[in-house]
């Protein structure tokens, strides 16, 4: 074709000519490339989604309990026992509680007409006396109901007890009524409203959506989205008998797990409800079983202040809201990191399989920022840190580590049962040496010198006072460990420390009082 401009060139049209060849080799090759491209695209999409950050939720809970109970109460009227019927409604049996909890009274003991005066104590081994010599003026102990006057008075018949200045008559020491007075509370229902917010995604939703039939009752399989729960059904789910628990009271957890995929394409976000008995049902009678408290209603009669004292037994329901959160774990005997993204309720981290993600490559330039880590710190005078450390190691090695521990250095968790799984994690998948015995652990994670340096590096004017220093050093040590073992900051924030490391760090920088709070999601 002449490469010149002529009028006829303008009116030309070019197209490719397709040739179809019947060839086994070319055909196979073509499909081979198609498959490769398709797999790559799917992989890229999926693996990208793996890094979609999942975080915990900010949540608000509101509850409404409904139901009426008829209570047969025995009362004393002019010395005669009488049976009266009372109708209890919501205001009578629920009490305001703090936080995401509500309380339903199931049983009670009532002491009526108490007023401030002198009277003999209720007879117990502690209060019985035979003469004034057995009582001591001004005496009281945490179990007394009043202050002793020093006299020994007649309680009833020939029973004598020390006289006290107190709210009289003194509350009798009695067993909770059997069956429970509000046994029928098992038919009460509670409506739970839960609004949640995933902060990172600017996404808000709630469990009661428009169009939801609000006359329903929750059923695990037939009506799993219904937000109205019959109290008796909750107990049936956990294998407990409502009537038994109602006598002494108890604590029940209602867990709302938001299983959300906030991906734009596969968007779904619905709550899953489950229940968990939270009080210790196996403790025997002497160890304060159940759940009870006292409260009083005050009134005035003939200008005398009086009160009705109630010892209330009942069930406290704690509502626990969880959201999908990614967590990362790393075992010393594995080259990859595991990402855990499933409903974890009740399953210990050590046994969760998770997804393997590659460990981020070590950035050696980072190491140069830690020059101190590579040299031993000069010994602080009067504080032979290193020696103290070795001695401690030898003497306080836990002898019986939990069953899931493969390194022999883990300890049971102190967290409440619903969060315990988070701390049931060892540094290893298979039996062997513990990472806390490594030289690097001591140098990078436990060195007071380096941790102090890092804290001051962040905040040069930080006042390291004695009280809070240990807490700051401990939290810094957790971060050091996570950054060391997980590399990227993204993962370190959601990395869970193995129990052995956690407790080794806590032993080095202990908290002066109270329990350790454990992992909290950074969001
Ligand atoms: P506290 O000092 O009494 O609050 O209790 P801890 O010694 O358990 O420290 C709590 C702080 O350390 C919180 O900010 C937690 O998020 C953090 N922390 C505790 N355990 C872990 C963990 O396994 N991984 C991470 N990344 N942080 C943790
Ligand atoms: Zn272990
Ligand atoms: Zn270990």
Q: What integer pLDDT is reported at residue 279 of this predicted model?
A: 82
Evaluate if residue 430 carries a pLDDT over 90: yes
* Pairing label, strands 250-261, 304-323: parallel
- What's the CA-to-centroid distance between 418 and ligand 1, angstroms? 17
Higher pLDDT, 416 or 427: 427
Mutating to test ligand 1, I would choose from 413, 478, 481, 490 the residue with most ligand atoms within 8 A of its C-beta, which is 478
Calculate ∠ Cα 498-345-485, nearest 5°.
Answer: 25
Residue 420: other Cβ atoms inside 10 A: 16
516 lines ligand 1 (CB under 6 A): yes
Confidence of residue 23 (pLDDT cuts 50, 70, 90): confident
Q: Which residues of 241-271 are buried (b: 16+ CB within 10 A; e: fewer)?
A: ebbebbbbbbbbbbbbbbebebeeeeeebeb
> Within 10 A of 386 (CB to CB), how many other CB atoms are there?
15
- Separation CA 405–CA 428 (nearest Å): 8
Span 80-92, pLDDT tens digits? 888 889 999 999 9
Taking CA atoms only, the protein residue closest to ligand 1 atom 14 is 520
- What pLDDT, on a 0 to 100 scale, did the predictor assign at position 293? 93
CA of 356 to the centre of ligand 3 (A): 20
Q: If we measure between CA atoms, which residue out of 231, 216, 228 comes closest to residue 184?
A: 231
Report which of 389, 326, 321 is spatially closest to residue 357, judged by C-alpha positions. 326
Per-residue DSSP letters for 18-76?
P-----HHHHHHHHHHHHHHHHHHHHHHHHHHHTS-----EEEEEEEEE--EEEEEEEE
Which phi and psi angles does 267 have, rounded to 5°? -65, 120
Of all residues in the chain, the percent with pLDDT exceeding 90 is 41
Q: Whose CA is nearest to atom 24 of ligand 1?
A: 496
Tell me, using a 6 A CB cutoff, whether residue 325 lines ligand 1: no
Residue 7: pLDDT over 80: no
Pick the residue whose CA is nearest to atom 15 on ligand 1: 519
pLDDT averaged over every residue in the chain: 82
In the prediction, which pLDDT does 30 show?
84
Nearest-10 crossing angle of helices 466-486, 448-458: 90
Ligand 2 centre distance from Cα of residue 401 (Å): 7
Which carries the bigger pLDDT value, residue 279 or residue 408?
408
In this prediction, residue 227 has a pLDDT band, given cuts at 50, 70 and 90, of very high
Question: Can you name the residues that pair with 230 across neighbouring β-strands?
Answer: 189
**Residue 92: burial class (beta carbons within 10 Å; 0-12, 13-18, 19+):** middle
Confidence band (pLDDT; 50, 70, 90) for 515?
A: confident
For the stretch 357-382, pLDDT in tens is 888 777 666 655 554 545 555 544 44
Distance of CA 300 to the CA centre of its chain: 44
What pLDDT, on a 0 to 100 scale, did the predictor assign at position 392? 42
Q: Looking at residue 267, what is its pLDDT?
A: 62
pLDDT tens figures, 169-226: 999 988 899 899 999 999 999 999 999 887 656 778 888 888 777 789 999 889 888 9
Based on C-alpha coordinates, what's the Rg of the chain?
A: 34
Q: Considering every ligand atom, which ligand is closest to the CA of 429?
A: 2
Q: How far apart are CA 498 and CA 337, in angstroms?
A: 13
Identify the pLDDT of residue 393.
44
Record the tokens describing residue 15, joined without a space.
């197209």
How far, rounded to the nearest angstrom, does the alpha carbon of residue 104 sit from its chain's CA centroid? 22
Any residues with CB less than 8 A from the CB of 186 and at least 6 apart, and which?
A: 230, 231, 232, 235, 242, 243, 246
- The model's pLDDT over 97-147, given as tens digits with 9 standing for 90+, comes to 888 899 999 999 999 999 999 999 999 888 899 999 989 999 888 888 899
What is the tens place of the pLDDT at every residue in 155-166? 988 899 999 999
**How many whole angstroms separate alpha carbon 323 and alpha carbon 288?**
34
pLDDT tens digits, residue range 444-486? 899 998 898 889 888 888 877 766 788 999 999 999 999 899 8
516 CB burial (10 A radius; 0-12, 13-18, 19+): middle
Closest Cα to residue 105, out of 250, 234, 235, 282?
A: 250
Longest dimension (CA), the chain: 136
What is the percent of the chain where pLDDT is above 70? Answer: 81
Query: What pLDDT score does 476 carry?
Result: 93
Average pLDDT for residues 234-263, to the nearest whole number?
Answer: 87
Per-residue pLDDT, 494: 84
Q: Are 181 and 108 a contacting pair, CB within 8 Å?
A: yes
Burial class (CB in 10 A: 0-12, 13-18, 19+), 185: buried
Predicted TM-score (pTM) of this structure: 0.55
> How many CA atoms within 13 Å lie on the side-chain side of 390?
4
State mean pLDDT over 304-320: 94
Task: Give how far Cα 401 sits from Cα of 349, 390, 413, 433, 500, Å.
Answer: 16, 20, 11, 14, 10
249-301 pLDDT per residue, tens = 999 999 998 866 555 555 667 888 999 888 877 655 556 678 999 999 999 99
Q: Say if ligand 1 is within 6 A of residue 495 CB.
A: yes
pLDDT confidence band for 331 (50 / 70 / 90)? very high
Cα–Cα distances (Å) from 174 to 123, 124, 291, in that order, read: 12, 11, 15
Amino acid 15: pLDDT: 79
């Amino acid at each position: 074709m002449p490469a010149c401009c002529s009028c006829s060139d303008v009116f030309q049209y070019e197209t490719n000519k397709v040739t179809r060849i019947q060839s086994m080799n070319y055909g196979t090759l073509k499909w081979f490339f198609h498959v490769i491209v398709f797999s790559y695209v799917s992989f890229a999409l999926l693996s990208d989604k793996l890094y979609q950050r999942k975080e915990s939720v900010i949540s608000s809970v509101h509850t409404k309990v409904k139901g009426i109970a008829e209570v047969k109460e025995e009362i004393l009227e002019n010395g005669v026992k009488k049976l009266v019927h009372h109708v209890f409604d919501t205001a009578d049996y629920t009490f305001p509680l703090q936080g995401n909890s509500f309380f339903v009274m199931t049983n009670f003991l009532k002491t009526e007409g108490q007023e401030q005066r002198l009277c003999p104590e209720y007879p117990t081994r502690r209060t019985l006396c035979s003469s004034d010599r057995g009582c001591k003026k001004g005496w009281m102990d945490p179990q007394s109901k009043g202050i002793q006057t020093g006299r020994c008075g007649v309680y009833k018949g020939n029973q004598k007890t020390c006289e006290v200045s107190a709210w009289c008559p003194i509350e009798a020491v009695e067993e909770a009524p059997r069956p429970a007075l509000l046994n029928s509370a098992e038919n009460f229902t509670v409506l739970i409203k839960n609004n949640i917010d995933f902060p990172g995604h600017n996404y808000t939703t709630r469990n009661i959506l428009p169009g939801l039939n609000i006359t329903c009752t929750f059923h695990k399989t037939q009506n799993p989205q219904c937000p109205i729960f019959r109290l008796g059904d909750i107990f049936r789910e956990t294998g407990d008998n409502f009537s038994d628990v109602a006598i002494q009271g108890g604590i029940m957890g209602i867990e709302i797990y938001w299983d959300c995929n906030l991906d734009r394409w596969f968007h779904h976000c619905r709550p899953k409800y489950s229940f968990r008995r939270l009080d210790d049902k196996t403790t025997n009678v002497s160890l304060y079983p159940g759940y009870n408290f006292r409260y009083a209603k005050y009134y005035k009669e003939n200008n005398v202040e009086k009160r009705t004292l109630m010892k209330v037994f009942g069930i406290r329901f704690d509502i626990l809201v969880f959201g999908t959160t990614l967590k990362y774990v790393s075992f010393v005997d594995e080259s990859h990191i595991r990402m855990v993204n499933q409903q974890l309720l009740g399953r210990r981290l050590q046994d969760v399989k998770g997804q393997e993600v590659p460990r981020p490559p070590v950035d050696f330039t980072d190491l140069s920022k830690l020059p101190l880590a590579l040299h031993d710190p000069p010994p602080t005078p009067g504080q032979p840190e290193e020696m103290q450390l070795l001695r401690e190691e030898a003497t306080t090695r836990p002898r019986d580590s939990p069953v899931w521990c493969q390194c022999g250095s883990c300890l049971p968790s102190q967290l409440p049962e619903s969060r315990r799984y988070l701390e049931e994690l060892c540094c290893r998948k298979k039996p062997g040496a513990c990472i806390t015995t490594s030289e690097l652990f001591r140098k990078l994670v436990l060195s007071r010198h380096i941790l102090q340096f890092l804290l001051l590096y962040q905040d040069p004017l930080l006042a390291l006072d004695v009280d809070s220093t240990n807490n700051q050093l401990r939290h810094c040590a957790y971060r050091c460990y996570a950054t060391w073992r997980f590399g990227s900051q993204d993962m370190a924030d959601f990395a869970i420390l193995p129990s052995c490391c956690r407790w080794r760090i806590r032993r080095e920088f202990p908290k002066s009082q109270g329990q350790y709070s454990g992992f909290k999601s950074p969001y």
